[in-house]
Amino acid sequence: MRMPAPDETVIARREAIAADLSRIVAADAVILPEDERRAYESDGLTAYRQLPLLVVLPSTTAEVAAVLRYCQKEGVKVVPRGAGTSLSGGALPLADGIILGLGKFNRVLEVDYDNRCAVVQPGVTNLGITTAVQGRGFYYAPDPSSQIACTIGGNVAENSGGVHCLKYGLTTNNVLGIEMVLINGEVLRLGGKHMDAEGYDLLGVMIGSEGLLGVVTEVTVRILPKPTTARAVLMGFPSNGSAGDCVAAIIGAGIIPGGMEMMDKPAIHAAEAFVHAGYPLDVEALLIVELDGPPAEVDHLIERVEAIGRANSAVSCRVSNSEAERMVFWAGRKAAFPAVGRISPDYYCVDPTIPRKRLADVLERMTQIATKHGLRVANVFHAGDGNLHPLILYDANKPGELDAAEQVGSEIMSYCVEVGGVLTGEHGVGVEKRDLMSTMFTEDDLNQQLRVKCAFDPDGLLNPGKQFPQLHRCAELGRLHIHHGQVPHPGIERL
Amino acid sequence: MTHFRPKDEVELVGIVQQALATEEPMELVAGGSKRSLGRPMQLPHVLDLSGFCGVQVYEPEELILTVGAATPMAEIERTLAGAHQMLAFEPGDWRALLGTADKTQTLGGVLSCNIAGPRRIRQGAARDHLLGFHGVSGRGESFKAGGKVVKNVTGYDLCKLMAGSYGTLAALTEVTVKVLPYPEATRTVALKGLAVDAAVKAMIQAVGSSHELGGAAHLPAVLSPTGAAMTVVRVEGPVPSVEARAVALRDELSGFGAAEIIDNDASLPLWQTFRDIMPLASPADAAIWRVSIAPTDAPALVDTLSRALDLRYFLDWGGGLLWLAVTGASDGGATAIRSAIKSGHATLIRGGDGLRAAVPVFQPQNPTVAALARRVKDSFDPERIFNRGRMYGDV
């Protein structure tokens, strides 16, 4: 992975910059010693490591603004960081850039049940929001699997999803407002407790911008009344194709389940051996369909889903009759990653989304790709929205296997784009998929995105090296190529 | 004035390049049903996008629909109805309100104005359903963003910027939207005769319940067909579900008076009147405002404005959306309305050219946000070729 060449003059000024920043934030909020910086050298994509120039941990919006203003003035790059759980290297440090850690922004500022929202600081964990509101029967809907640790600020940066997002949406559909700071230190409020933006939806473009546009210092999220009931159906299928058909039939019947997860045979066996959830082992694919909502609806729909499963050649079918049983159904799926970790020393996970009708074909191709590189793949995936999570199994101690795993991931993602899908459904581009962006976008597509970046961060100081395969100067991108006085298409129809 | 009607993206790029060369801006239109939204413009050219029309891909089981951006809404609705699906954000048909009943409403127009109906509280607005698009920027470059699947975080979410940009950033040629199943059944629980503060309390209680509300609106007595104020909440879903939830809501709301359950067939037209802003369509000379606020702010705002202005109103989105019809105020009520809003914003949806030129149609922005918005406009359309001045003087 090639990152932008570090600016040696900035690195040479490390101690002077630390001293300057110590006058902006508390002295103990600037981390200089190498052993302490090491804690920040990686995020959830642990294959990549880099010691940051410095780590700065501001406590207030005013401090964030002052730090960013300083960095713009001094030409110092900034990598914002929440809990560092990104799976795409979004928080990977730069040798010549500071890590701006938002961990001290950890308070729930207000819960407004009447307006069904909560105002929180960006360092509050995803689950922390639900914890703060569940006493009154509310919750925050997006539930990425890292929800115990990941922060809402990171969720905003990555537009995080989770198993329930087909029905309840991603982060972008559940955030009403933010306070944010631009690289020039200007503080903005976008949105609030009302439901829509005035003017351009700048909030919408900030969500999922992977820390390249600004630093979020406060978030107003929508909270929802918790569904009264949830029940799940566990169905086994003789082929991936028939499981895929069942998913299509459920949605075709007008049913949008709260969650709909699929596992292939290697994932089923790994999970069963790990948690003993009672999964059938003689099937090729397993589907967990969860219906949530009012009891009358859940009971009605669960029967329909069962019938659809049988009509689509489900060879086994169990309906949860208690909360304990429902949790057992989920236990295997939720433990799929660590379970795979038991059958392989290492695994690498990517998250492309495909049109679901291509599922059987894509799974077969994945096996071919992995086999070609001498590796294996286990699959868990968000079946409802076509978001795949192939776990590519490898051994980092064997020379060349990490490279092979990355190559398998890259070929899988490229194939997913080829069949009409996208590179990433929820993990983000980061450094991981940066160089694949051109499989999905033309140069003009990417240049337009870069110009939006320039509107927020004209010097390219926020999280450079992420998301875009090339660095550009904003002045070049802004130049118009027009031929003055020439009429390019004189024959165009005029009415 | 020249009227350009490109038949494909190549021609469209040529037209925009030519407009850049001559530095002459143009007004983007398709069906023409919403030309009176925004600030009045006197631009030398019209860019008619109606040629970008027709269903390209509809895959009900993938929950996606890809169409030419100027595909008429009637065609979209007909297509989706064939598979019992819908645009879940419930976009209104504002033609009666805007006096453009003879024009065609297109999906591109609905998305560009980010229109959403009563189901907004549960399913989001147009912005939440636009998955991807193709278009031509004001730089004369063809580009795309987003994708054709329901879950995607690859690249910046430029779809959000397109929704609600009133054609000031790009000319949309193709759009992909998320579609959802049409509910099997609908029930409405109606309370009668509530004053606005009680009505908002009732809606807050209902929307905050676990009954998954798909609408909550309040129509004061003066606008109500029954002569008594109506506070209505909607549940949608399978028959056994809506029946159980409607009964539960009726019982839970009994503290606000006797509630009536309205059946499926009577519910559908009732919610359509809210969706289409029909209660305020006439008289045609009233200024119409759309005010987006936190629901709990609604009663005090209505109270303040009712003293200051000659107005009629109704509430949607559980109190979070206030629709106003103002008569007799020289500024259409702009000063009174905007100074009374604590947090949120007001948009002038209907008013004569004179009024829309005299008062800001869109809520004036904080200077920092306005400057950022200008830079975003620059990034797509540096020469202000598209819909110059439609949203703000310089955007």
Asked if B379 and A454 come within 8 Å (Cβ–Cβ), the reply is yes
Q: How many CB pairs under 8 A join A and B?
A: 317
Whole-angstrom distance, CA of residue A3 vs CA of residue A471: 10
**pLDDT tens column, A230-266:** 999 999 999 999 999 999 999 999 999 999 999 999 9
**pLDDT tens column, B133-142:** 999 999 999 9
Asked if B155 and A451 come within 8 Å (Cβ–Cβ), the reply is no
Residue A28 touches chain B, beta carbons under 8 Å: no
pLDDT for A471 equals: 77
Asked if B151 and A161 come within 8 Å (Cβ–Cβ), the reply is yes
Closest CA to A301 of B41, B240, B50: B240
Helix (H, G, I), strand (E, B) or coil at B137: strand
Read off the DSSP letter of residue B317. Answer: G
Whole-angstrom distance, CA of residue A311 vs CA of residue A315: 10
Beta bridge partners of A125: A151
Interface test with B, best of A68, A113, A194 (most B CBs within 10 A): A194
Beta bridge partners of B188: B234, B262
Encode burial over A180-213: b for 16+ CB neighbours within 10 A, e otherwise.
Answer: bbbbbbbbbbbbbbbbbbbbbbbbbbbbbbbbbb
> Taken in order A180, A182, A186, A189, is the CA torsion positive or negative?
negative
Whole-angstrom distance, CA of residue A298 vs CA of residue B241: 8
Helix (H, G, I), strand (E, B) or coil at A268: helix
Q: What is the mean pLDDT of chain A?
A: 94
The nearest CA of chain A is from the CA of B336 a distance in Å of: 18
Q: Mention every residue, 6+ apart, whose C-beta is less than 8 A from residue A95.
A: A6, A11, A50, A51, A52, A53
Q: What percent of chain A has pLDDT over 90?
A: 89
Q: With contact defined as beta carbons under 8 Å apart, do A94 and A52 qualify?
A: yes
Whole-angstrom distance, CA of residue B47 vs CA of residue B38: 17
Interface test with A, best of B134, B152, B361 (most A CBs within 10 A): B152
Whole-angstrom distance, CA of residue A64 vs CA of residue A57: 9
Least confident among A129-133, A194-198, B196-200: A194-198
In this prediction, residues A188-203 reach a mean pLDDT of 95
Residue with tokens 């019992």: B84
Q: Tokens representing A476? A: 């070049």
Strands A387-394 and A346-349: antiparallel
Q: For domain B185-275, say whether CATH 3.30.70.2190 is its number.
A: yes
Whole-angstrom distance, CA of residue A378 vs CA of residue A369: 13
Residue A413 touches chain B, beta carbons under 8 Å: no
Q: With contact defined as beta carbons under 8 Å apart, do B295 and B322 qualify?
A: no
pLDDT for A493 equals: 41
User: Confidence band (pLDDT; 50, 70, 90) for A1?
Assistant: confident
Q: Tokens representing A15? A: 């101690």
In this prediction, residues A191-209 reach a mean pLDDT of 96
Asked if A452 and B143 come within 8 Å (Cβ–Cβ), the reply is no
Helix (H, G, I), strand (E, B) or coil at A402: helix
Q: What percent of chain A has pLDDT over 70?
A: 97
Q: Domains of chain B: which residue ranges?
A: 48-181, 185-275, 278-358
Residue A182 touches chain B, beta carbons under 8 Å: yes
Question: Which residues of chain A does B295 touch, with a Cβ-Cβ cutoff of 8 Å?
Answer: 114-115
The nearest CA of chain A is from the CA of B258 a distance in Å of: 23
Q: With contact defined as beta carbons under 8 Å apart, do A136 and A113 qualify?
A: yes
Closest CA to A154 of A105, A98, A97: A105
Whole-angstrom distance, CA of residue A204 vs CA of residue A158: 12
Q: Name which of B84, B157, B372 is nearest A207 (Cβ-Cβ).
A: B157
Whole-angstrom distance, CA of residue B78 vs CA of residue B56: 14
Asked if A423 and B151 come within 8 Å (Cβ–Cβ), the reply is no
User: Confidence band (pLDDT; 50, 70, 90) for A494?
Assistant: very low
Q: Tokens representing A237? A: 């299928």
Say whether B278-358 and B185-275 share the same fold: yes
Q: Tokens representing B254? A: 């009994």
Question: Which residues of chain B does A225 touch, with a Cβ-Cβ cutoff of 8 Å?
Answer: 208-210
pLDDT for A470 equals: 81
pLDDT for A482 equals: 61
In this prediction, residues B271-292 reach a mean pLDDT of 97
Q: Mention every residue, 6+ apart, whose C-beta is less than 8 A from residue B163.
A: A201, A204, B111, B112, B114, B125, B126, B127, B130
- Assign a CATH topology to domain B278-358: Alpha-Beta Plaits (3.30.70)
Helix (H, G, I), strand (E, B) or coil at B186: strand
Whole-angstrom distance, CA of residue B310 vs CA of residue A418: 59
Q: Name which of B11, B18, B184 is nearest A254 (Cβ-Cβ).
A: B184
Q: Name which of B147, B181, B373 is nearest A422 (Cβ-Cβ).
A: B147
Helix (H, G, I), strand (E, B) or coil at B181: strand
**pLDDT tens column, B81-125:** 999 999 999 999 999 999 999 999 999 999 999 999 999 999 999
Q: State the CB neighbour count (10 A cutoff) for residue A147.
A: 20
CA angle centred on A260, ends A83 and A257, rounded to 5° = 110
> Side by side, which strands form the sheet with B45-48?
B2-4, B45-48, B26-29
Closest CA to A433 of A210, A156, A264: A210
Whole-angstrom distance, CA of residue B209 vs CA of residue B221: 26
Asked if A294 and B244 come within 8 Å (Cβ–Cβ), the reply is yes
**pLDDT tens column, B61-81:** 999 999 999 999 999 999 999
Closest CA to A492 of B87, B47, B300, B281: B47
Whole-angstrom distance, CA of residue B246 vs CA of residue B212: 11
pLDDT for A116 equals: 98
In this prediction, residues B219-233 reach a mean pLDDT of 96
Question: Which residues of chain B does A170 touch, with a Cβ-Cβ cutoff of 8 Å?
Answer: 151, 153
Question: Which residues of chain B does A494 touch, with a Cβ-Cβ cutoff of 8 Å?
Answer: 2-5
**pLDDT tens column, B150-193:** 999 999 999 999 999 999 999 999 999 999 999 999 999 999 99
Q: Which helix (DSSP H) or strand (DSSP E) does residue B76 occupy?
A: helix B73-81
CATH of B48-181, one of 3.40.50.300, 2.40.340.10, 3.30.465.10, 3.40.50.1100: 3.30.465.10
In this prediction, residues A380-401 reach a mean pLDDT of 94
Helix (H, G, I), strand (E, B) or coil at A101: strand
Asked if B145 and A424 come within 8 Å (Cβ–Cβ), the reply is no
Q: Tokens representing B204? A: 């807050």
> Taken in order A241, A245, A246, A248, is the CA torsion positive or negative?
positive
In this prediction, residues A396-419 reach a mean pLDDT of 96
Interface test with A, best of B151, B213, B252 (most A CBs within 10 A): B151
On the question of pLDDT at A495 being above 60, the answer is: no
Interface test with B, best of A178, A297, A358, A472 (most B CBs within 10 A): A297
Closest CA to A43 of A412, A387, A466, A408: A466
In this prediction, residues A159-177 reach a mean pLDDT of 94
Q: With contact defined as beta carbons under 8 Å apart, do B337 and B291 qualify?
A: yes
Nearest CA in chain A to B297: A115
Q: Name which of A205, A484, A485 is nearest B157 (Cβ-Cβ).
A: A205
On the question of pLDDT at B246 being above 90, the answer is: yes
On the question of pLDDT at A492 being above 50, the answer is: no
Residue with tokens 């797509």: B380
**pLDDT tens column, B305-360:** 999 999 999 999 999 999 999 999 999 999 999 999 999 999 999 999 999 999 99
CA atoms within 13 A on the CB side of B29: 20
The nearest CA of chain B is from the CA of A292 a distance in Å of: 11
pLDDT for A483 equals: 54
Whole-angstrom distance, CA of residue A168 vs CA of residue A226: 12
Q: With contact defined as beta carbons under 8 Å apart, do B250 and B235 qualify?
A: no
Asked if A254 and B182 come within 8 Å (Cβ–Cβ), the reply is yes
The nearest CA of chain B is from the CA of A303 a distance in Å of: 12
Question: Which residues of chain B does A483 touch, with a Cβ-Cβ cutoff of 8 Å?
Answer: 17, 21
Q: Name which of A300, A421, A454 is nearest B149 (Cβ-Cβ).
A: A421
Q: Tokens representing B67? A: 């169409």
This complex has an ipTM of 0.97
Closest CA to B390 of B103, B173, B169, B97: B169
Encode burial over A432-444: b for 16+ CB neighbours within 10 A, e otherwise.
Answer: bbbebbebbbeee
Closest CA to B171 of B361, B20, B375: B20
On the question of pLDDT at A33 being above 70, the answer is: yes
Question: Which residues of chain B does A495 touch, with a Cβ-Cβ cutoff of 8 Å?
Answer: 3, 5, 48
Identity at A4, one-letter amino acid code:
P
Q: Which helix (DSSP H) or strand (DSSP E) does residue B337 occupy?
A: helix B334-340
pLDDT for B257 equals: 96
On the question of pLDDT at A407 being above 60, the answer is: yes
Whole-angstrom distance, CA of residue B169 vs CA of residue B152: 22
Closest CA to B309 of B286, B277, B290, B292: B286
Encode burial over A44-67: b for 16+ CB neighbours within 10 A, e otherwise.
Answer: bbebbebbbbbbbbbeebebbbbb
- Helices (H), ranges, A92-164: 126-133, 152-158
